[in-house]
Amino acid sequence: MIGIIGAMEDEVAQLKKNMEIEETTEVASLSFCRGKLSGREIVVVRSGIGKVNAAICAQTMILRYAPSRIINSGVAGGIGADVKIGDLVLADGAIQHDVDTTQIGDQIGMVSGINLVVIPTSSEMNRVLAEAARRCAYQGNVHIGRIASGDQFISSAEKLHWIASTFGAVACEMESGSIAQVCYINGTEYTAVRCISDNADSNAGVDYEQFSTFAAHQTTELLCTALPMLENI
């Protein structure tokens, strides 16, 4: 089974619409939809925004459904001139940019317990997702790079440059780093696929309003192509 987590309804609605839902279960105020999409067994859930909501959701999903793989799907702010609205980013490592225990001697971004700054993601799943983007002639560039999460909507050039120069991230959002942590400690294969809705700059709020629904649909459409391909890895 593959678990799919999106923060907002827009980020999971199309999957729920396209799948054959066999069961919907409420746990911890989350609504898990289990069923089939293109013959593939999946469970889909909306986590809510932010790292804590996403972590609660991922851990609950793992305990209840034991998926072999989890994909975090949704939108993100693009970092760098190359990463444009509509582009796709596959997470080659997940970061939590708001974690800072440097005052007690740690590296910036180091997540206590697992003691990592860059939490690994599945290169095999990224390969399949990139191949799916080629197959469906995805309109936009596909980047494989680090995604940085934090409990902030980034809308300043200063902050996004800091995230880029400190962590080498190409996109920012608010969930995938915490889901990566949960998957890492549970040994669940994981990646995040995000479509760029804004450039995390001073115009980010306006761009997000305009492009987030479109961007969310781009990732769910890609997943509809990718899910049957993922069965075979």
Contact residues for ligand ADE (CB under 6 A)? 75-77, 153-155, 172-174, 197-198, 200, 204, 208
Phi-psi region of 70 (alpha: psi -120 to 50; beta: other; left: phi over 0): beta
Minimum gap (Å) between residue 81 Cβ and ligand ADE: 16
Which amino acid is present at 25?
A: T
Minimum gap (Å) between residue 199 Cβ and ligand ADE: 8
Asked whether the CA dihedral 52, 198, 172, 15 is positive or negative, the reply is positive
Minimum gap (Å) between residue 166 Cβ and ligand ADE: 16
Kind of pairing between the strands at 2-6 and 189-198: unpaired
Residue closer to ligand ADE (CB basis): 62 or 148 = 148
Which amino acid is present at 50?
A: G
Looking at beta carbons, which residue is closest to ligand ADE? 77
Tokens representing 26 are 């409420």
Q: What is the C-alpha separation between 32 and 171, in angstroms, rounded? A: 27
- Active site positions, annotated: 11, 198
Residue closer to ligand ADE (CB basis): 43 or 76 = 76
Residue closer to ligand ADE (CB basis): 18 or 213 = 213
